Amino acid sequence: MKKLIFLIFNIIMLSIGNCGGPLISRLYFIHGGQRIWIPSVLQTVGCPIILIPLAIAYFQRRKIQGPEAKIVFITRQEFIASAGVGIIVGLDGYLNSWGPAKLPVSTSTLINATQLAFTALFAVLIVKQKLTAYSTNSVVLLITGAATLALRANGDRPAGESAKDYILGFVMTFVGAVLYGLMLPLIELIYMKAKQAVTYTTVLEIQMVLGISATVFCTIGMIINKDFQAIPREASQYAIGESKYYMVLVLCAVIWQFALMGLVGVIFFSSSLLSGIIAAFLLPVTEVLAVILFHEKFQAEKGVAIFLALWGFVSYFYGEYEQGKKEKKMKKSESQISQQLDMGQTAVQVV
């Protein structure tokens, strides 16, 4: 029950981050924000928030164990692996920032739905995830849904956006979806290869390293691109006011941190594939919110994509349900056979 509660808690955080993150990032751009590295770094710069639950956990351990209580659980191997994956997280954040910059939220979100296909592929290759016919069908449906966007791309291009910028945003977002699909199984692999029992505290420490590594990567990009000098200028020219500019940046950092925290938690308590499935399932929510908040166009192709995404989600969980029933039946059968063999051996001994 405790594990289920933690899983649900992390699903809620992942939902808040994955729905709110793209919307807040788009808000930065539509009111005058023009930098790509700024919203990129905001996706992980909020990682110090994790120090709060880590500090609470430490003082609880100290109450029980005294001065000998461990401060840090993450090993050197896990630290190095997490730092490496953190660079991928930072690069993925940069690529994903091109979506809100050049595309409507609804379009960039639908392209991101293809990450499920890559999550499934890399999960099979990296962590030996077993795919059923239903999960394969789910992946195919989600890919097909995202592909329908290409049928009328020009009709979806924001006013004043050049075809070149639109295509660049489309390509960058797609590559970001590939990296996202790679990132999830790599995080799961860190848990699997750990030489000690991985606790939720260790998971938070791993997330902290991921966030710091990704933030350093994006900060270097900001320095090279001279984004720090541009922040005061952007703030003074922001359409809805300077104070709201900084408010958007802070809110963006907090919301995206929920996404990363929920992501690593769901992978820990379940699997990388489930994380990808949940992210894809949140697609219709973000779609509806983008249409309501930003008055984006909702064409027939997007409706088809949403339908296919929902169909794919239902297909996956129906397959998991059927697989669970099958495994339960097999275990029951094996248990009965084992009991029969034990009874037979007992009878032979009596004779």
pLDDT band at 313 (very low <50, low <70, confident <90, very high): confident
pLDDT tens profile 112-151: 777 877 888 899 899 988 777 877 887 787 767 666 655 5
Least confidently predicted of 36-45, 260-269, 292-301: 292-301
pLDDT band at 344 (very low <50, low <70, confident <90, very high): low
pLDDT band at 348 (very low <50, low <70, confident <90, very high): low
Closest CA to 97 of 196, 178, 26: 26
Q: How far is CA 122 from the centre of its chain?
A: 15
Report the SS3 class of residue 14.
helix
Sign of the C-alpha dihedral, residues 145, 150, 155, 161?
positive
According to the model, what pLDDT value does residue 343 have? 63
For the chain, how far is it from start to end, CA to CA, in angstroms?
47
Alpha-carbon Rg of the chain, whole angstroms? 23
According to the model, what pLDDT value does residue 117 have? 78
Rounded Cα distance between 253 and 171, Å, is 25
pLDDT tens profile 213-265: 999 999 999 999 999 999 999 999 999 999 999 999 999 999 999 999 999 99
pLDDT band at 206 (very low <50, low <70, confident <90, very high): very high
- Tell me what the pLDDT averaged over the chain comes to: 84
Name, of 61-70, 86-95, 291-300, the range with top average pLDDT: 86-95
Report the SS3 class of residue 162.
coil
According to the model, what pLDDT value does residue 203 have? 93
The CA-based dihedral angle spanning residues 331, 333, 338, 339, taken in that order and rounded to the nearest 10 degrees: 110
